[in-house]
């Protein structure tokens, strides 16, 4: 057989077939891949261009570069698309693009996403290891770029030529038909998609893609109407057809039963989607839906939700609502009139949810700090008081499916706040140095849970520190010592925050060292006890404070107890170690009952109910003082185990197997020795 002559490729066509590897860069904040990524792959497949996704957030730190090398070798991409959507991924994007470019010149690096589009030319100017930026919708520009179209003809593209950096302004906006003809949930595009499914199932679920853009303008949001104009050139949102979302769900069913929806430009659209789903027998009761709501729920929505989605199992579905701030007026400014609801309406809405779904869903309420509508320390204190009081009210009214989260606000790139309050907002340097400052704690000594790059200038450093200390202490109490938190709020109401503030001002604010890193709970307890006992009126509202703090000090040593290997060795004449036993005036662990009693009887006529707490290795056992005297207190008299069992049998106190189990646990915990 003769040798065939090699064909010369036509001009402007790439020598090898193009392939795009989209990479979600490692990030400590996000494991989720922006929703549009799967759609890009499907779009390119329809144009006969191979594309894959590598999510480096899925792997351990020490595996990342090994995985990258492995998949680069396997896929042999001509282009790499680095997803630069949220600003939190900035460090990962820069490190990775530098790393890839230092190893191979031939692979072209493209950056896209909100943040890439927002910084645009400046990003390309600062990062010479990035070849292209796509500003706005990426589907057609990627197709053209990968097919070798002359860069000056590729819409939405920012690129370099010998004259410098050039920008083709966004002129391509995907149309509804194209958006509806591509799938956004073909997980096979993603390497190791089983890891991703596991990971999203442990969190909110697989995000279902409905559309792009928003009609609202929340001030902090980088996905708002105004922000979309800045980073994507998009003036109007666009939504997929309901049929296309349903066909995606049918595909998704093969991979996961847990989904997340958070796209509510139009509640009617969502209800129409639910109605259409209700007609699809194979999809009804196939998914657990976690739902991020942009506004309060209505009856029809809740009825449809109940009819279509899987009810609660061990992993409860959740609804998210973001009131953001406690004071209604601030919320109205932040969210605008159309999305505004008052706190009273929110509480009524929680009742509506409960009346339709019982406690089958958890509701997460997101509040955040710092907003530009909360400008003084007193405003902040009002917020803090309102939010923690609300949390206490839920607990004391037995509402256990509503959870409050009070985090730092991520001031998104391109948001109104970013644009208004940041010096040089369009400079990448501004973002990078803010991130570096935050990470090196140059700005804050307190722990932060988001990239909060905005702090109102009307708050002094000391104001911020004081707010952070207040929140930290209240959070700590609520989380680890709910007895004290709820008793304080029950007895002192808002004065609880005054009390904590007084302690912070007198003892902590000027104390050298990092308060957050060296926080000493026992010291705080001691100060709470001391402050309350020194103030007659406060003390009269919580006269059992000494007894309560004694119990909590024992409880804190229970938390700090070093782990010891289990030993079931029994001595025949055991002794009782009182260090693990606390006798108190009330059953503080049975909080619901105790708070109701407190409310009913009033603090002045509250009868003591002597309670014994036994600090076992893994739990705190409580019993009435009478039961304690009739049972294990007898070991103080030096009785043997056999005498004990005989005594219990004669007195008909529980049964033998109960006591054998109890004795074993007491030995294992060192209470008997
Ligand atoms: S937070 Fe507000 S502006 Fe942002 S996507 Fe949601 S509704 Fe739109």
| Ligand 1 atom index nearest CA of 225 | 3
pLDDT score at 562 = 73
pLDDT score at 4 = 39
| DSSP-derived 3-state class of residue 493 | coil
pLDDT score at 435 = 83
Using pLDDT thresholds of 50, 70 and 90, give the confidence band for residue 178.
Answer: very high
| Ligand 1 atom index nearest CA of 217 | 3
Q: How far apart are alpha carbons 218 and 536 in whole angstroms?
A: 47
CATH number for the domain that contains residue 112: 3.40.50.280
Using pLDDT thresholds of 50, 70 and 90, give the confidence band for residue 453.
Answer: low
Q: Which of 232, 270, 339 to mutate to test the pocket of ligand 1 (most atoms within 8 A of CB)?
A: 339
Q: How far is the CA of 280 from the centre of ligand 1 (A)?
A: 30
pLDDT score at 155 = 98
Cβ-Cβ contacts under 8 Å for 304 (sequence gap 6 or more): 271, 274, 275, 278
Q: How far apart are alpha carbons 212 and 218 in whole angstroms?
A: 16
- Both 547 and 523 in one domain: the answer is yes
Q: How far apart are alpha carbons 203 and 205 in whole angstroms?
A: 6
- Both 238 and 335 in one domain: the answer is yes
pTM over 0.85: yes
Pairing of strands 620-624, 581-584: unpaired
pLDDT score at 443 = 65
- The tens digit of pLDDT for each residue in 601-611 reads 998 888 999 99
- Both 155 and 269 in one domain: the answer is no
Point out the domain boundary residue: 539, 558, 577. Answer: 558
- The tens digit of pLDDT for each residue in 222-235 reads 999 999 999 999 99
Buried b / exposed e along 530-561 (16+ C-beta atoms within 10 A): ebbeeeeebeebbebbebbbbbbbbbbebeee
Using pLDDT thresholds of 50, 70 and 90, give the confidence band for residue 434.
Answer: confident
Q: How far is the CA of 326 from the centre of ligand 1 (A)?
A: 18
Of 264, 263, 260, 352, the C-alpha closest to 302 is: 352
Q: How far apart are alpha carbons 529 and 525 in whole angstroms?
A: 6
Q: Tell me if 267 is assigned to some domain.
A: yes
pLDDT score at 438 = 76
Using pLDDT thresholds of 50, 70 and 90, give the confidence band for residue 656.
Answer: very high
Kindly tell me if the per-residue pLDDT of 614 is higher than 80.
yes
Kindly tell me if the per-residue pLDDT of 460 is higher than 90.
yes
State which residues form the domain around 142.
19-180
Using pLDDT thresholds of 50, 70 and 90, give the confidence band for residue 410.
Answer: confident
Q: Tell me if 303 is assigned to some domain.
A: yes
Tell me how far apart the terminal alpha carbons of the chain are, to the nearest angstrom. Answer: 91
Q: How far is the CA of 1 from the centre of ligand 1 (A)?
A: 66
Phi, psi of 621 (to 5 degrees): -95, 135
Q: How far is the CA of 341 from the centre of ligand 1 (A)?
A: 15
- Both 353 and 430 in one domain: the answer is yes
Q: What angle, rounded to 10 degrees, do the helices at 461-480 and 377-396 form?
A: 10
Q: Which residues line ligand 1 (CB under 6 A)?
A: 214, 216-218, 221, 223-224, 294
Kindly tell me if the per-residue pLDDT of 10 is higher than 50.
no
| Ligand 1 atom index nearest CA of 215 | 8
Point out the domain boundary residue: 558, 581, 615. Answer: 558
- Both 391 and 477 in one domain: the answer is no
Instruction: Kindly write down the DSSP assignment for every residue of 443-465, as one continuous string.
Output: S-SS--SS------TTS-HHHHH
Kindly tell me if the per-residue pLDDT of 452 is higher than 70.
no
Number of domains in the chain: 4
Kindly tell me if the per-residue pLDDT of 455 is higher than 90.
no
- Both 530 and 576 in one domain: the answer is no
Q: Tell me if 12 is assigned to some domain.
A: no
Neighbours of 118 (CB within 10 A): 26
Q: What angle, rounded to 10 degrees, do the helices at 482-492 and 377-396 form?
A: 110
Q: How far is the CA of 210 from the centre of ligand 1 (A)?
A: 14
Alpha helices of 481-544 — where are they, by DSSP H?
A: 482-492, 495-503, 521-534, 536-541
Q: Tell me if 193 is assigned to some domain.
A: no
| DSSP-derived 3-state class of residue 423 | coil
Of 67, 139, 125, 137, the C-alpha closest to 96 is: 67
Q: Which of 114, 294, 334, 367 to mutate to test the pocket of ligand 1 (most atoms within 8 A of CB)?
A: 294
pLDDT score at 30 = 78
Using pLDDT thresholds of 50, 70 and 90, give the confidence band for residue 409.
Answer: confident
pLDDT score at 570 = 83
Q: How far is the CA of 191 from the centre of ligand 1 (A)?
A: 31
pLDDT score at 11 = 42
CA distances from 251 to 246, 257, 429 (A): 9, 11, 42
Q: Mean pLDDT throughout 331-359?
A: 95
Q: Tell me if 673 is assigned to some domain.
A: no
Kindly tell me if the per-residue pLDDT of 170 is higher than 50.
yes
Q: Tell me if 652 is assigned to some domain.
A: yes
Contact 380, 501 (CB under 8 A): no
- Both 547 and 572 in one domain: the answer is no
Question: 210 or 452, which is more confident?
Answer: 210
Q: How far is the CA of 265 from the centre of ligand 1 (A)?
A: 8
Kindly tell me if the per-residue pLDDT of 34 is higher than 90.
yes
Cβ-Cβ contacts under 8 Å for 460 (sequence gap 6 or more): none
Point out the domain boundary residue: 540, 558, 576. Answer: 558
Q: Which of 240-244, 438-442, 588-592 has the lowest mean pLDDT?
A: 438-442
- Both 346 and 260 in one domain: the answer is yes
Buried b / exposed e along 128-165 (16+ C-beta atoms within 10 A): eebbbbbbbbbbbbbbbbbbbeebeebbbbbbbeeeee
- The tens digit of pLDDT for each residue in 537-548 reads 999 999 999 999
Q: Tell me if 11 is assigned to some domain.
A: no
Kindly tell me if the per-residue pLDDT of 125 is higher than 60.
yes
Return the residue whose CA atom lies nearest to atom 3 of ligand 1: 224
Residue-level length of the chain = 673
% of the chain exceeding 90 in pLDDT: 82
- Both 161 and 276 in one domain: the answer is no
Kindly tell me if the per-residue pLDDT of 12 is higher than 70.
no
Contact 490, 536 (CB under 8 A): no
- Both 421 and 486 in one domain: the answer is no
Q: Which of 376-390, 427-441, 454-468 has the lowest mean pLDDT?
A: 427-441
- Both 133 and 235 in one domain: the answer is no
- Both 292 and 269 in one domain: the answer is yes
| Ligand 1 atom index nearest CA of 227 | 3
Q: Tell me if 194 is assigned to some domain.
A: no
Mean pLDDT over all residues of the chain?
A: 92
Return the residue whose CA atom lies nearest to atom 2 of ligand 1: 218
């Amino acid at each position: 057989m003769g040798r065939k002559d090699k064909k010369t490729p036509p001009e402007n066509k790439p020598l090898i077939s193009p392939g795009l590897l989209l990479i979600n860069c490692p990030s400590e904040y996000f494991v989720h891949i922006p929703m549009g990524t799967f759609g890009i792959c499907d779009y390119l497949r329809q144009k006969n261009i191979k594309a894959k996704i590598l999510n480096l957030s899925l792997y351990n730190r020490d595996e990342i570069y090994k995985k990258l090398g492995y998949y680069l070798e396997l896929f042999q991409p001509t282009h790499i698309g680095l997803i630069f959507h949220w600003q939190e991924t900035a460090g990962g994007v820069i490190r990775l693009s530098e790393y890839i470019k230092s190893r191979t010149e031939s692979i072209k690096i493209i950056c896209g996403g909100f943040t890439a589009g927002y910084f645009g030319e400046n990003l390309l100017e600062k990062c010479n290891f990035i070849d292209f930026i796509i500003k706005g919708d990426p589907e057609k520009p990627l197709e053209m770029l990968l097919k070798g179209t002359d860069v000056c003809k590729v819409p939405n593209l920012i690129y370099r030529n010998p004259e410098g950096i050039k920008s083709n302004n966004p002129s391509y906006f995907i149309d509804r038909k194209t958006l509806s003809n591509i799938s956004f949930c073909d997980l096979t595009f993603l390497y190791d998609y089983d890891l991703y499914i596991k990971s999203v199932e442990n969190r909110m679920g697989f995000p279902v893609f409905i559309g792009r853009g928003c009609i609202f303008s929340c001030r902090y949001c980088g996905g708002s109407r105004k922000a979309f104009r800045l980073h994507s050139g998009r003036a109007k949102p666009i939504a997929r057809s309901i049929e296309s979302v349903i066909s995606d769900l049918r595909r998704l069913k093969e991979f996961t039963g847990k989904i997340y929806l958070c796209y509510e430009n139009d509640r009617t659209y969502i209800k129409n989607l639910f109605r259409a789903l209700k007609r699809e027998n194979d999809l009804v009761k196939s998914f657990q839906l976690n739902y991020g709501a942009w506004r309060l729920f209505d009856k029809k929505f809740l009825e449809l939700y109940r009819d279509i989605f899987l009810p609660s199992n061990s992993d409860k579905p959740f609804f998210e609502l973001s009131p953001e701030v406690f004071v209604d007026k601030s919320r109205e400014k932040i969210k605008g009139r159309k999305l505004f609801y008052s706190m009273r309406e929110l509480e009524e809405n929680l009742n509506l949810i409960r009346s339709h779904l019982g406690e089958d869903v958890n509701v997460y309420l997101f509040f955040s700090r710092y907003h530009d509508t909360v400008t003084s320390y007193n405003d902040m204190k009002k917020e803090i008081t309102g939010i923690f009081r609300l949390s206490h009210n839920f607990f004391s009214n037995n509402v256990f499916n509503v959870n409050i989260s009070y985090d730092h606000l991520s001031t998104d790139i391109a948001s109104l706040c970013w644009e208004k309050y940041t010096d040089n907002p369009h400079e990448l340097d501004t973002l990078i140095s803010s991130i570096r400052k935050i990470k090196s704690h140059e700005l804050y000594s307190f722990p932060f849970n988001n990239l909060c790059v905005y702090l109102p200038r009307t708050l002094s450093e000391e104001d911020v520190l004081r707010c952070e200390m207040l929140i930290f202490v209240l959070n700590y109490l609520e989380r680890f010592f709910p007895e004290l938190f709820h008793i304080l709020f029950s007895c002192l109401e808002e004065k609880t925050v005054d009390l904590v503030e007084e302690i912070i001002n007198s003892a902590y604010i000027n104390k050298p060292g990092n308060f957050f890193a060296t926080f000493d709970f026992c010291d705080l307890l001691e100060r709470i006890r001391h402050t309350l006992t020194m103030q007659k009126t406060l003390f009269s509202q919580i006269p059992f404070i000494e007894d309560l703090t004694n119990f909590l000090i024992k409880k804190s040593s229970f938390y700090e107890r070093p782990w010891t290997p289990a030993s079931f060795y029994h001595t025949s004449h055991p002794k009782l170690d009182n260090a693990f036993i606390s006798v108190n005036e009330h059953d503080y662990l049975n909080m619901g009952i105790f708070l109701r009693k407190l409310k009913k009887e009033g603090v002045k006529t509250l009868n003591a109910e002597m309670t014994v707490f036994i600090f076992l290795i893994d739990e705190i056992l409580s019993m009435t003082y009478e039961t304690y005297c009739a049972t294990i207190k007898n070991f103080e008299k030096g009785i043997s185990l056999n005498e004990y069992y005989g005594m219990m049998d004669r007195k008909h106190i529980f049964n033998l197997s109960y006591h054998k189990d109890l004795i074993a646990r007491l030995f294992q915990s060192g209470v008997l020795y």
